[in-house]
Amino acid sequence: MQQDQVIDAVDLGGRSADFSVWGMFIEADIVVQLVMVLLLLASFWSWAIIYEKIMRIRKVNAHANQFEEVFWSGNSLDNLYDSMRSRADHPMAMVFIAAMREWQKSLAGRSTVADKLGIQDRIAKVMRVTMNRELERLEHQLGFLATVGSTAPFVGLFGTVWGIMNSFQAIALTSNTSLAVVAPGIAEALMATALGLVAAIPAVMAYNKISTDVERYASRVEGFSEEFSAILSRQLEERHG
């Protein structure tokens, strides 16, 4: 005789315990429910951050490719600055705009070696400050992923411990050591641990991937800054002899 399909409920002394995900959530202790809701919200928010950061990094890399193509095409830096200063929307362009702005402000008739060195220092400082500010924006909310990745398993474990405590209390109150008595509480508790891992694992993986991509992009912008600083330094030497 063919067995019936496995159902989500078992009879526990006249009480039906639903072992579906929703059923376990409804039957869980209020503390375990709060833990589950917190972990679900953390997971949803983590995925939103992951999506936004991946799209943002792809966008800035694509814009950097376009910008470098125009920058190294041999066109006038002043013309490039005039065309981009009102529509710069990625870190590499922002570094270029900041440097060119300082460059144009600093050229008013200065010709001494000391003044030339001062211009170079100011341009380098402006580019460094701008780069750091733009990269901080790119890294914004990565700390949340790190926090979820490191704390979500422990939050889930707290829910698990709480649920198991309730199961042992049920044993003490009923004086019944049957597995059927403690099974619902243990199942609810283990679901909290599972949700903690569901929230933590993608957050950790995404944090490592996005951090690596940001570091790679930061190296790219830093390399551009050094090359552009060298170009301006040569132009300054040609201008002032």
Residue 57 has pLDDT above 90, yes or no: yes
Q: How high is the pLDDT of residue 179? A: 61
9, 26 contact by CB (below 8 A): no
Of all residues in the chain, the percent with pLDDT exceeding 90 is: 45
Structural domain spans, the chain: 29-240
Give the count of alpha carbons within 13 A of 130, CB side only. Answer: 25
Q: Given 3-state DSSP classes, what are the helix, strand and coil percentages for the chain, each rounded to the nearest 5?
A: 80, 5, 15
Residue 6 has pLDDT above 60, yes or no: no
Each residue's pLDDT tens digit, 104-158: 887 765 555 556 667 788 888 999 999 999 999 999 999 999 999 999 999 999 9
What is the rounded distance in angstroms from the CA atom of residue 210 to the CA atom of residue 57?
A: 8
* Position 231, amino acid: I
Q: What's the whole-number mean pLDDT along residues 19-32?
A: 70
What is the rounded distance in angstroms from the CA atom of residue 131 to the CA atom of residue 217?
A: 11
* pLDDT tier, 169 (very low <50, low <70, confident <90, very high otherwise): confident
Structure tokens at 95: 């570094």
What is the rounded distance in angstroms from the CA atom of residue 215 to the CA atom of residue 137?
A: 13
What is the rounded distance in angstroms from the CA atom of residue 11 to the CA atom of residue 17?
A: 7
What is the rounded distance in angstroms from the CA atom of residue 221 to the CA atom of residue 126?
A: 14
159, 194 contact by CB (below 8 A): no
What is the rounded distance in angstroms from the CA atom of residue 190 to the CA atom of residue 42?
A: 18
Q: How high is the pLDDT of residue 167? A: 76
Q: How high is the pLDDT of residue 180? A: 61
Residue 4 has pLDDT above 50, yes or no: no
Question: What is the average pLDDT score of the chain?
Answer: 82
What is the rounded distance in angstroms from the CA atom of residue 67 to the CA atom of residue 96?
A: 10
Q: With left for phi above 0 and alpha for psi between -120 and 50, is residue 169 left, alpha or beta?
A: alpha
* pLDDT tier, 184 (very low <50, low <70, confident <90, very high otherwise): low
Roughly how many angstroms between the first and final C-alpha of the chain, as a whole number?
100
Lowest mean pLDDT among 58-67, 96-105, 203-212: 96-105
What is the rounded distance in angstroms from the CA atom of residue 52 to the CA atom of residue 200?
A: 18
